[in-house]
Structure 1
Amino acid sequence: MAAHRQHTRGTRLLTGALVAAALGAGTFGAVSATASTPDAPQRARTAAPASAVAERDTHRTRHLTADAAARAAQAALKAAREDGQRVTVAVVDRNGNTIAVLRGDGVGPQSYQSAERKAYTAASWNAPTSELVKRLESTPNLKDIPGTLFLGGGVPVAADGTPVAGIGVAGAPSGALDEKYARAGAAVLTTD
């Protein structure tokens, strides 16, 4: 009986090892086969094309290019330097994604996030943040919206009346100065 138990235990160990090896080989083979299947591009081509979505179920948006964002940020930073001010300039797209940030020499660390939040606020509301500050008097809970900052210094950028970006400036001694520099950045984007 003891010999039978040892044999059974040994058989179980051997069987378990064989099963594990077979499963491992099968998994490896399946992964290898999937990774190098020659007809994979054919399957990708037979998937539903993006154009299958009805036009009525989509909308098109316009976005500021990275080059335009960089030009605007440079212009805002230059205007601040000419006034002897140290600022950070942020340009965000319509969705609040940062496109460009320029942090001037010697500017405080808090200005980076403040500039981004001002830009986001201006783009979200399609209004200068100095105007939005006035709305807080009648609706103080606006300031509780995540990611926003209701201080002067943010201006929207529009194309054909539709907001496409926001420019935020932070670091000058007042929101009015920050907004002046943000407007200088937006001015380089206007057509002649």
Structure 2
Amino acid sequence: MRRIVIFLGVILFPVSALSQSAAVHTVSVLDLQVALRAALRAVEVCSEAGHQAAASVVDRFGVEQVTLRNNMAGAHAAEAARRKAWTAASFNMPTSEIDETETGGDVSGTTGIPREVPIGGGLPIVSQSGELLGGIGVAGGGSGETEAKCARAGLDAIADQLK
């Protein structure tokens, strides 16, 4: 009797079927208004510090949701902000922590990725439960450290909505 139960178990529930992933995945995305609020606050904080910057927010896949640029920001700022946001979302880490040259590091050897920008100013956007929602990038703030502070201000502006 036991052999029949095992045999039926193998036929009805093959191991390969149990180990396969789901056919459909559900992910969370930021509402456009929330993304806009984060980018706007980042640009405002940089402006208050005397910098003409741009800020960009991308979703978890690196697709741009919104990019804002101070009227006097340089021509490069919007694209650099997008690329920093993309990098932060793609690696799920602050862009200032990316060291492509660190032997054996998490991102060593990634210098060939065309859109990657491994300098300060990009932060991942993560829900309070730890789910990656996207990235925010700031450029034109004078330094990676200042740009990261502006990006952090953008995240702080939406923190209560990242449940």
Q: 1:105 aligns with which of 49, 66, 71?
A: 71
TM-score, length-scaled by structure 1:
0.67
Q: Which amino acid in 2 is paired with 1:152?
A: G
Point out the structure with the larger helix share: 1
Partner residue, 1:188? 157
In the TM superposition, 1:11-22 aligns within 5 A as none
**Shift in Å, 1:65:** 0.9
Q: Are 1:143 and 1:150, in contact at CA under 8 Å, matched by a contact in 2?
A: no
Identity over the aligned pairs, expressed in percent? 37
**Shift in Å, 1:135:** 4.5
Partner residue, 2:27? 61
Report which of the two structures shows the higher radius of gyration computed on alpha carbons: 1
Partner residue, 2:102? 137
Q: Which amino acid in 1 is paired with 2:60?
A: R
CA distance in 1, matches of 2:71, 2:39: 14
Partner residue, 1:152? 120
Partner residue, 1:78? 44
Q: Which amino acid in 2 is paired with 1:125?
A: F
Q: Which amino acid in 1 is paired with 2:140?
A: G
- Aligned residue pairs total 137
In the TM superposition, 1:40-59 aligns within 5 A as 56-59=22-25
TM-score, length-scaled by structure 2:
0.79
Superposition RMSD on alpha carbons, in Å?
1.6
Q: Are 1:91 and 1:168, in contact at CA under 8 Å, matched by a contact in 2?
A: yes
Partner residue, 2:81? 115
Structure 2 runs not aligned, ≥5 long: 1-20
Q: 2:53 aligns with which of 87, 106, 126?
A: 87
- 2:65 is paired with a residue whose SS is strand
Report 1 or 2 for greater relative contact order, CA contacts < 8 Å, sequence distance ≥ 6: 2
**Shift in Å, 1:147:** 1.7
Q: Are 2:74 and 2:140, in contact at CA under 8 Å, matched by a contact in 1?
A: yes
- 1:157 is paired with a residue whose SS is strand
